[in-house]
Chains A and B, each alone.
Chain A
Amino acid sequence: MPEEAMFRSAEMSMIQFYIPAEIGRETLYSLGSLGLVEFRDLNSKVNEFQRSFVGEIRRMDNVEREYRILKNAMDRRSIEMTESFTGKNEISHANIMSTSQLDEACSNAQLLEDRITELSTASEGLLKRQMDLKQYQQVLNSTDSYFDRSYTSDLINLNDANNNDISAEDGDVSRIGNFITGVITRIKVPILEKILWRVLRGNLFMKTTEIPEKMFDPKSKEFVDKDCFVIFSHGELIMSRISKICESLDADLYFVDPDHKNRQNQKVVVNQKLTDVTTVLENTDRTLETELRVVAPELDAWWTAIKLEKSVYEIMNRCYYDMSRKCLIGEGWVPKDDLPRIQASLDEMSTRFSRISNSASGGNSDDSIPIIMNTIETTRTPPTYFKTNKFTQAFQAMCDSYGTATYREVNPGLPTIATFPFIFAIMFGDMGHGFLMFLAALMLVIYEDPISKMKRDEIFDMAYYGRYIVLLMGAFSMYTGFVYNDVYSLSMSLFTSGWKWPLEWKEGDLITSHQTGVYAIGLDPMWHGAENALLFANSYKMKLSVLIGFIHMSYSYMFSLVNALYFHRPVEIIGNFIPGFIFLHAIFGYLSICIVYKWCVDWVAIGKPAPSLLNMLINMFLSPGVIDNQLYPGQATVQVILLLLALICVPCMLLIKPLWFRHTHSEKYISLPNGQGDDHSEGTNSNNLLSNLHLDDSEPVEEQAFGDIMINQVIHTIEFCLNSVSHTASYLRLWALSLAHAQLSSVLWTMTIGASFHFSGIIGIFFIFFMFALWFILTVCILVVMEGTSAMLHALRLHWVESMSKYFEGEGIAYKPYSFATVLHPDQA
């Protein structure tokens, strides 16, 4: 039975592939679709551009660039690229492109690019022509309105008569009269005005009209606001300067005939041309659009294929390509359990392609192309790989974000599945709020398939990714809420209460209830509204959080024993685990037992004052042997013994491990010459095909000195002793947050909906209606979302710091297999 790889990371093997060069691409394609191999870079000393398959990668880059051009063209015309949802099943070695198909795709892309660029250029040119004519039209129209006014005739007649004759022959048509007309970008109008004013010292008359529609600007290839202008001035030289200035500001100048009749003719001609150009432009655009629409549904699939091809070549670049170019040698990490799957897929590839080559060469069945796969021994540390499913994935990710577990050490992700929602629920205990959270997460879980295909924004994606965490958090909160007997800060009387109020009282009397029994499960609803309710809840929740904290830390600490046993490190058990265990339990274990013991004794019945446990713990250190209020007989002796035990443990923890190391280390120096040292090095491994190539860049072996060990151990000891105090105190946040949550929800209830119950009649109806809305919105926003987030962060901290520091090494390297899923969706990796 394959291992689940949840409690510990999966066992990894270093694998060497020996792939014939002819089917290298296809083989890697099949491995990529499996997504189980983490390829090692065997050419790390070779520069990126000196590797064997750079040419192919460049070709793919080029095709991608061509696709990007197509995509841009589509975006500009807002044609949607239909995304093909290629499921995982579809990407398999079955639909791998053959080399000829690949070539075809490349040339196809080239053709498309040429065609699209050609059409785009044509359409741009036409657009410019159209813009030109439109502007001309606008200029004609707007000048019409100037010339219709009476004063313009004077301006035109300023011109002396012979000037007209000369300018009629002048090639530059725009300068024919004593006026210049043109079109300029609107933002440049003030600049133009200012400069002209300065140059001509005010001897000009300028008029501008805004063109209502946006005009195409060939420089920036956008549509911008433009203005028509008419400038009247005087004198040939000045006119030429004006036109020069206008041109330098990128204005387009147009010739407008001062004579009304000629102008009408001009208009007709321009309109005619404009219609022609517009028709041609529309045609070109339509062709371009059809072309793009044909491409649109397929582009995504092509793009996917090219991306995969590129990734295959990138992996091939990591492999060693032998001198004769006959075979590719790749190395990589593979989970041990999946070796048969990989072997099967490789076998399939090899038979498939040998069949093809056989049928081509005439059917010699012995002539097969074998792919050789070897497991090789190595001293490298394997990567850490936890197999997850959609339920455990988020929990695992939460632990991994703190640190990747060392290879084969206990996975903190597994216990987290239960403890994280539970510790959260202690702080968030309210049936109502828990229920809301549960429902929200349930929706995400039920509709996970449709939502997974949706485009999600960042925050929603986070909620979606952690939907199972939230689901469990909601469910656990309902349970703790039930124990706290809190539903939106109110209590339920499911069972008969253990307390009875006196039946008669006068207003203003102080009344006391008396106990008649014990409430069946959870907190007695009678506490609700009692004067000492807060006092009781405080004391109860505080002690509860110390107990929970102790239990959480204790079992986390047990994992360090599990790790030490698994890795066969007796010195860890003797030097670290046992002293630490005694230290922790002698102080805080004892405190926890005392808490429970104190609860069990009815202090009122035996008529003794209840001893304060806090003072007891402080006195245990400050004045050993002295007891203020006795908890149980023989307490002084027990406490002194426990204190001594804890104190003895400190030097034990400090010294055993370094001394042991020193002892074994001196032995090692003697044993080395006997020739056992080289046994595990890769040089003698007969399986390793690359061993004689000296490609190997083995990890440097860290030589630990006694000094380092000693310093580390000192730090560890100090940390452990201080942390056992501070971490226990840290669990008091459970109390604080749970109390704050309960108080906040009760305040919200009384301030909003609770107040509205005092009214009756029509007012009452409206009041309750609106107050409910207010209460519900605030409940969801503040109590569920905000408080929930804060409680979640505290729970996260308790796991990362208080629990994981007890056993977690976290020095592993994450396993990053080469898989098509990560190539296509790098963000979901």
Chain B
Amino acid sequence: MEGLFFNINDGFIEAVVRGYKNGLLSSSQYVNLTQCDTLEDLKLQLSATDYGNFLSNVSGVLSTSIIESKLNDNLVSQFRYLKAQASEPLSTLMDYISYGYMIDNVALMITGTVHERDRSEMLERCHPLGWFDTLPTLSVATDLESLYETVLVDTPLAPYFHDCLSVDDLDDMNIEIIRNTLFKAYLEDFSDFAKTLSSPSDEVMCRFLAFEADKRSINICVNSLNTELTPEDKLKMMPGLGRLSNPAFQHQMVHSDDLEQLKIVVNSVGEYKNFFDESNDKSMEDHFYEYEMTLCKNAFTQQFTYSTIWAFLRSKEQEIRNIAWISECISQNQKDRINNYIAAY
């Protein structure tokens, strides 16, 4: 039934997203890219794709960072175009998507301030999708509470800070804890929102968010293995959704003392079985990306859902990572590792 009325408001957007999706590089195009000898060759190859002449106005010598920033501009403009077209509840969904980037930006700004980095340099590194007007003023204050009271209380992130205002000392570790606590609150809130969407958007979105949460849980546990974080602290950061979220799993995970114990817990979930497989030079991160791309690919098989936007965004980000990787390999002349990209389409 939902499909009946979907196209009234969202048909155009879905069509546009699917058009964008068809513009994603195919595996044969990736093969062409990997054959390039210089970045100029890469530019020529990319000009035959959907990116067209996006590099044609660049003067001087190409570098990976220029290519990456241009690719990101492309993604951001596509996202903004979609957002400008979106109506409720899709626009809220897209807001939620950008909150994730906001959290990253906030963490980045705070870290930068703590390390007394240059403000404009930090602002440049912030993700444009997570930009908000008062972001630059984050560099003013030095403790979280005053930050919250002066700046963050106005942002949509304010409710997520509920659990982390007790942190008193801003150091790298604490910022990371704040970030993860924020993400926990954010993911839980997002998933509550996703559940209110019409079927099948809710189903697919929850699948994505569950994986996102699991990914974070695993990362938290892996990264905190040899720190003095207590299991209780870890538990506070673990999102309450996802396949690893049931208390038994969580209990086992936070009490694991080494990687092997963690592996046993994670491997008990069928789909996550190969995450710790380190053959073929693949890191855990690569496995995450690979799994996410399968999720995205599957998401595109569903019609009449908002989740295609999430899937597209993630696929495009992966594509940017891939191109950046390839161009980095080309410029550093490391042809033997050039094939470590993750092509899904």
What residues of chain A have their CB less than 8 Å away from a CB belonging to chain B?
47-49, 54, 58, 61, 64-65, 68-69, 113, 188, 191, 194-195, 198-199, 241, 244-245, 248-250
Contact = CB atoms under 8 A, between A and B. Distances in A.
Contacts of B32: 47
B151 interface: yes
A249 B36 contact: no
B139 A248 contact: yes
A65 B56 contact: yes
B41 interface: yes
A241 B48 contact: no
B83 to A, nearest CB: 20
B26 interface: no
B313 to A, nearest CB: 26
A195 B150 contact: yes
B133 A188 contact: yes
Contacts of A48: 44-45, 48
B43 to A, nearest CB: 9
A250 B140 contact: no
B154 A49 contact: no
Given A54-B44, A194-B154, A68 B137 contact: no
B119 interface: yes
Contacts of B150: 195, 198-199
Main secondary structure of the interface of B (DSSP, over half): helix
Contacts of A113: 59
Contact of B140 (A69, A188, A191, A244): A244
Contacts of A47: 32, 35, 45
A332 B327 CA distance: 37
B41 A241 contact: no
B169 interface: no
Interface in B113-154: 119, 133-134, 136-137, 139-140, 146, 149-151, 153-154
B41 A249 contact: no
A249 B137 contact: yes
Contact of A245 (B44, B56, B137): B137
Contact of A248 (B36, B44, B140): B140
Given A47-B32, A58-B40, A65 B59 contact: yes
Contact of A249 (B35, B45, B136): B136
Contact of A65 (B57, B139, B146): B57
B136 A195 contact: no
Interface residues of B, number: 24
B60 to A, nearest CB: 10
Given A48-B44, A49-B45, A195 B137 contact: yes
Nearest to A61: B56
Contacts of A241: 140
11 contacts: A48-B45, A49-B36, A49-B41, A58-B44, A61-B56, A65-B59, A195-B137, A195-B151, A198-B150, A248-B137, A248-B140
A241 B140 CA distance: 7
B344 to A, nearest CB: 23
A58 B56 CA distance: 10
Contacts of A58: 40, 44
A245 B48 CA distance: 47
Nearest to A197: B150
Interface string B19-61: 0000000000000100110001100110010000000110100
B44 A191 contact: no
Given A49-B45, A195-B137, 15 more contacts: A47-B45, A49-B41, A54-B44, A58-B40, A65-B57, A188-B133, A191-B134, A198-B149, A199-B146, A244-B140, A245-B140, A248-B119, A248-B136, A249-B136, A250-B136
A683 B98 CA distance: 62
Contacts of B146: 199
Nearest to B59: A65
Nearest to B138: A248
Contacts of A195: 134, 137, 150-151
Contacts of A54: 44
B163 to A, nearest CB: 22
Nearest to A64: B56
A194 B57 CA distance: 41
A47 B28 CA distance: 12
B130 to A, nearest CB: 17
A641 B176 CA distance: 94
Nearest to B58: A65
A244 B150 CA distance: 14
Contacts of A69: 57, 59
A190 to B, nearest CB: 9
Most buried by A among B35, B57, B137: B137
B136 A49 contact: no
Contacts of A198: 149-150, 153
Contacts of A248: 119, 136-137, 139-140
Nearest to A245: B140
Nearest to A54: B44
Nearest to B40: A58
A250 B134 CA distance: 11
Contacts of B40: 49, 58
A61 B59 CA distance: 11
Contacts of B41: 49
Nearest to A199: B150
A479 B139 CA distance: 82
A249 B120 CA distance: 11
Closest 8 CB pairs of A and B: A49-B41, A248-B136, A198-B150, A49-B44, A248-B137, A199-B150, A245-B140, A244-B140
A248 B135 CA distance: 9
Nearest to B154: A194
Nearest to A241: B140
A451 to B, nearest CB: 32
A48 B154 CA distance: 52
Contacts of A191: 133-134, 137
Contacts of A245: 137, 140
Contacts of B36: 49
Contacts of B153: 198
Interface string B53-92: 0001101000000000000000000000000000000000
Contacts of B137: 191, 195, 245, 248-249
Nearest to A219: B120
A71 to B, nearest CB: 11
Contacts of B140: 199, 241, 244-245, 248
A801 B36 CA distance: 49
Contacts of B133: 188, 191
Contacts of A250: 136
A61 B35 CA distance: 22
A49 B136 CA distance: 43
Nearest to A242: B140
Nearest to B150: A198
A250 B136 CA distance: 9
Nearest to A190: B133
A73 to B, nearest CB: 13
A61 B149 CA distance: 53
Contacts of B45: 47-49
B67 to A, nearest CB: 15
Contacts of B35: 47
A810 B103 CA distance: 59
Nearest to A72: B57
Nearest to B119: A248
A248 B140 CA distance: 7
Nearest to A66: B59
Nearest to B146: A199
